[in-house]
Structure 1
Amino acid sequence: MKIKCLGCDKVLVIPDNRLPRDKAIAFPCPTCSKVIRIDLRTSAAGQKPTLQTQTEKVYPTGEALKAQILKTVDELPPMPQTVIKAREIMEDPKAGFQELSALFEADQAIAAKILKLANSSYYGIKGGVSSIQKASVVLGQKTLRELVTLGGVSGLIGNQLVGYGLDAGDLWMHSLAVAFGARFIAEKIDASLASDAFTSGLLHDCGKLILDSYIAERWQQFEDAMADGETSFLDAERKVLALDHPEIASDVCKAWQIPKSISRAIRHHHHPSRSQKSKLAYIVHAADAIALMSGIGIGIDGTRYQMEEGTMTILALNDEDMGAVMGHMLSAAKKIVEE
């Protein structure tokens, strides 16, 4: 029988043949001396003995665990419908601004978030803006699309993630940095990808929202999996949970109605070579690696990720470019967070 001490969480393994039947026993924990009480008596109704201490919880594994985790995706707060609809309107060349204006008039909460971001020191609109229409005129449709995505996501990824060792706001800061870094890289090599690069960077780690609690309750298994000092956190996720956070992120993107090209980039942002030559995946991968190098939102897992070989060549980046990306993402993310 496995018994966990409530005082120090030490797990004791006691052979069944050493436990007296039909008796209540008590003994001190050999580690912290807290008294552990176990009631091994069987009631008249034939019920099993009751343990008056905490026994080691048995967690589902394999396919059962994977099914449970995938079900959790449905419980994640949805992307605001206003944001989804706004993106559709802005991507439709036939749609007019009146439709967009009417949409935000019906959702003042999202509109307020967007205007707050538009008036941040990063976007730096002289004199400020008081309406979505003015923000669109001054900043342009592409930047407005960026603001809409920021406004919709800001309330979804700001919480503490215990399993990943991230304090409240850390994931938000990291996501902002990767988003601005990815856009910066895209503008250098293929400007047509800039908007999607920003969205991909912002959402690349959303799978962590789902996996965090599963990691926290299985932390000892993760430590054991990485004990060799070479196993990455991503590999440990697959070993312990049967899937990883990029895989779950692609499911979250589907639930949030994010375009497939962005979902694919996010799915392969740690291994872009598996993305069927998606330039977007390489861009997000590079931005993520640079953000982690700078220590932004590094968490427990960040120290074991490395940039995939060949990424710099594929994106035509050099060390000077990396320095520029790092400086830009740090500055931009801080200006948004500090507002």
Structure 2
Amino acid sequence: MNQDKIQGFLQELPRMRGDLPFSPEILGRLFVQTGEGCLVSLEAVGETLGKDQGLTARILRLANSAYYGLQAEIQTVSRAAAVLGMSEIRNIVLALGIDGLTKQYGLPEDFDLGRYWAHQFMVATVAKELSDMIDVGKPDSLFTSGLLHDFGKLVTALKRPDDWSAIRELAENELLADSDAEEEYWGLDHAVIGALVLRSWDLPAVLVEPVNWHHSPDLSPGHSNESNVICLADCVVHAVAEPEGPYAERVDELCQAVDVDMDDLLEVAEELVDSDDVEQFVNVLF
């Protein structure tokens, strides 16, 4: 086990607050302004994001992309928030922040960024559907947590590419789930790594805890229900992609625990794989 490596890595993670391609204060303020019960105006949100003109331009470019299929061009961020919704603006800003990291550090040649984002989007969408099926958590927050759940894998590949490659080799050689290979390699999985960075970005616990505990949802101190949803959504998407992999049995157990029909949930995930939504989402980020 590589204890020295992981300890040095963990000490670096909070400093990634300064690696965002825009001021972290903008992100923190955005989440305060768009949080539950906040009555801040759309104009105030537009003013917050407008402090970074580069960010504003990219938000508008995405809002006007084919992915959203809007009939009229959106020319201001406040209008984008009104048409797309506050939660969608948050997701766009987070995706742009993460995309900025990949351009700053670069990735190992064998890290498939398109596949990474496709999985994130599928888990986010299944989690949102699950929240409606079992009435747990807020769909928009669960979508965002799903979109972020494997962020720690990306951080590892960006900051520790050699360790990421070694973990992938271990997982493939021993037929392990990625999180199990990480635990064996250096005693910590990607969920914790991602959550540490997201906390440094001042994201709220309702988003970060499900990321942190999506492999061990019962240990989540304040948001175990939401963590269960992300865990199940993640396992379902993996099970659809790898029917003979290590996740199918886990899906059955988790569905029984939350009283969801496994066949219904698998159908949701399979329909998502067959739709154009995933490809459109990935394309809009590149």
What is the number of equivalent residue pairs in this alignment? 272
- In the alignment, residue 127 of structure 2 is paired with which amino acid? A
The CA deviation string for residues 95-114 of structure 1, in whole angstroms up to 9 with x for no partner, is 22232122222212222222
Alignment of 1:106-125 (within 5 A): 106-125=51-70
- More relative contact order, 1 or 2 (CA 8 Å, 6+ apart): 2
The structure whose residues are more often strand, as a share, is 1
1:284 aligns with 2:230: yes
Q: What whole-Å deviation, never above 9, does each CA across 1:263-307 have from its counterpart, x for those lacking one?
A: 221122123233357121122122222332344xx9xxx955453
Aligned AA (2:20): P
* Map 1:130-279 → 2, pairs under 5 A: 130-156=75-101, 161-162=107-108, 165-190=110-135, 192-212=137-157, 214=160, 216-217=162-163, 223=169, 229=175, 231-275=176-220, 278-279=224-225
The question of 1:69 aligning with 2:9 is answered yes
Gaps of 5+ in 1: 1-59
Return the offset for 1:194: 1.0
Which of residues 17, 20, 23 is equivalent to 1:78? 20
SS across alignment from 1:338: helix
**Identity, % of aligned positions:** 24
Does 2:234 align with 1:293? no
Give the TM-score normalised by structure 1.
0.68
The answer on whether the counterparts of 1:119 and 1:129 sit within 8 Å (CA) in structure 2 is: yes
Gaps of 5+ in 2: none
Matched, 1:322 2:266: yes
C-alpha RMSD of the superposition = 3.3
Q: Distance in 1 between matches of 2:245 and 2:123?
A: 16
Residue 20 of structure 2 contacts residue 97 of structure 2 at CA under 8 Å; is this kept in 1? no
Q: 1:117 to 1:226 in 2, by over 3 A?
A: closer
Code of the residue aligned with 2:216 in structure 1: it is H
Residue equivalent to 2:276:
331
Alpha-carbon distance in 2 for matches of 1:109, 1:303: 43
Shift of residue 148, structure 1, vs aligned partner: 3.5
User: Could you tell me which residue of structure 2 aligns to residue 21 of structure 1?
Assistant: none
Runs of at least 4 residues off by over 4 Å: 157-161, 217-229, 302-306
Length-normalised TM-score, structure 2: 0.79
Q: Secondary structure at the match of 2:48?
A: helix
Larger Rg: 1
